[in-house]
Amino acid sequence: MLLLNEQAGLACGKEDKALAEKKIKTIGILTSGGDAPGMNAAIRAVARKALGNGVKVKGIKKGYQGLLNEEIIDMEKKDVSDTIQRGGTILGTARCSEFRTLEGQKKGAEICRKHGIDGIVVIGGDGSYRGAQALSKQGINTIGIPGTIDLDIACTDYTIGFDTAINTAMQAIDKVRDTSSSHERCSIIEVMGRNAGYIALWCGVANGAEDILLPEKYDYNEQAIINNIIDNRKKGKSHHIIINAEGIGHSTSMARRIEAATGVETRATILGYMQRGGNPTCKDRFYASIMGAMAADILCEGKTNRVIGYKGGKFLDFDIDEALAMHKEIDEYEYEISRLLSR
């Protein structure tokens, strides 16, 4: 694990030494898995820092699938102009089952060698890191950057896209709340996050939801939710907002059952892909920029099989194998407070 200020040495004397050794001549950048706002800021930072280090940069389109299809383009500083504010990923992204096979991974490494690519920065989630780990085993240096709205990567407190996604979802939930109050309805609003409840937890607290259902904690006790709705009606509450995480799902059938049991009109809203789009927030742009630059530096230095993280207020890098073995849990205190404030 290395601190950013130790890395900072790279920008000065150490950098000259590393570059003089010319370990790395050309790097590739790819985005993989679900897109996330801020990925473009990361691509831009990787490209500009690597080019500044005197290293050539190639963009690999559509993740590992694009690598296997040899969709590889040269990138100059101007190619990332006017991108920091844009959502999505200018390189495109994909999920690629062929890359899960040893054959696919060998083919990917061979294509890298054919194009003179010595190292790759992979921007994505845990799955994408496994691909990077496999490429590293095939002799291609790899560095991962956490890019996912789900915040479900254990080695880091921050993932690119999460901040934009929660703000987008929060604003959408505020709107649903307005109409829910007017009609005196119960609303179940389903947010993304795959198997993780971070988006649900943050929005549940920020939107003042009456119930917050997290996959990590939910006990499927629907009767408790029904009792809560009935109690709140008795207290005169005009709406009842339930934030349900995608990992629990089934919001539409849950709404039907709750309406039948409470007599309160209940609607389900599944926010869906809108949470992955839009202009990244300042926080996503800033963190992505620092992480991107750091990834370029450590890749140029000749490191491999590392991922960038942000922990305890510092930017760090970890071994991918160690990072993938780490576990992350919903913070107990945050969970308790979310429950306390909703009642």
Interface residues with ligand ADP (CB under 6 A) are 32-34, 64, 95-96, 99-100, 124-128, 130-131, 134, 148
- Candidates 22-30, 51-59, 146-154, 332-340 — which segment interacts with ligand F6P by CB under 6 A? 146-154
* Interacting span for ligand F6P (CB under 6 A) from 83-91, 108-116, 186-194, 211-219: 186-194
- Identify residue 314 by its one-letter amino acid code: K
* Shortest distance in whole angstroms from residue 95 CB to ligand ADP: 3
Q: Which one of the listed residues 126, 150, 152, 163 is annotated catalytic?
A: 150
Distance CA 257, CA 225 (A): 11
Nearer to ligand F6P, 54 or 277 (CB): 277
Shortest-Cβ-distance residue relative to ligand F6P:
34
Give CA separation, 52 vs 47, 48, 56, 290, 307, in Å.
8, 6, 9, 15, 21
Under the binding rule (CB under 6 A), the answer on residue 100 touching ligand F6P is no
Indicate the SS3 state at residue 261: helix
How far is residue 31's CA from residue 71's CA, in Å, rounded to a whole number? 13
Identify whether the C-beta of residue 58 lies closer than 8 Å to the C-beta of residue 117: yes
Nearer to ligand ADP, 84 or 145 (CB): 145
Assess contact for 51 and 76: CB atoms under 8 A: yes
User: Do 37 and 93 meet the contact criterion of CB atoms below 8 Å apart?
Assistant: no
**Least CB distance to ligand ADP at residue 131 (A):** 3
Residue 276 as a binder of ligand F6P (CB under 6 A): the answer is yes
194: left (phi over 0), alpha (psi -120 to 50) or beta: left
Least CB distance to ligand ADP at residue 165 (A): 13
Residue nearest to ligand ADP as judged by C-beta position: 127
Shortest reach from residue 233's CB to ligand F6P, in Å: 32
192 sits near ligand F6P (criterion: CB under 6 A):
yes
Buried b (16+ CB within 10 A) or exposed e, 108-128: bbebbeeeebbbbbbbbbbbb
d(CA 100, CA 307): 19
If the CB atoms of residues 110 and 273 are measured against ligand F6P, the closer one turns out to be 273
Beta bridge pairs of residue 60? 72
Q: Which partner, ligand ADP, ligand F6P, none, binds residue 56 by CB below 5 to 8 Å per kind?
A: none
Residue 266 CA to residue 252 CA, distance in Å, equals: 9
Active site residue 82: no
Q: Tell me which residues in 218-247 interact with ligand F6P (CB under 6 A).
A: 246
What is the rounded distance in angstroms from the CA atom of residue 278 to the CA atom of residue 165?
A: 9
Q: Which amino acid, 203?
A: C
What is the crossing angle of helices 13-21 and 282-300, to 10°? Answer: 50
What residue 246 binds from ligand F6P, ligand ADP, none (CB within 5 to 8 A, per partner kind)? ligand F6P
- Residue closer to ligand ADP (CB basis): 10 or 122: 122
Closest contact distance (angstroms) between CB of 271 and ligand F6P is 10
Applying the rule CB under 6 A, the residues between 8 and 37 that interact with ligand F6P are 34
**CA-based nearest residue to 53, from 295, 343, 312:** 295
Residue 164 binds to ligand F6P (criterion: CB under 6 A): no
In the block, residue with structure tokens 């389900």: 268
| Residues recognised as catalytic | 150
Residues near ligand F6P (CB under 6 A) are: 34, 125, 148-150, 192-194, 246, 276
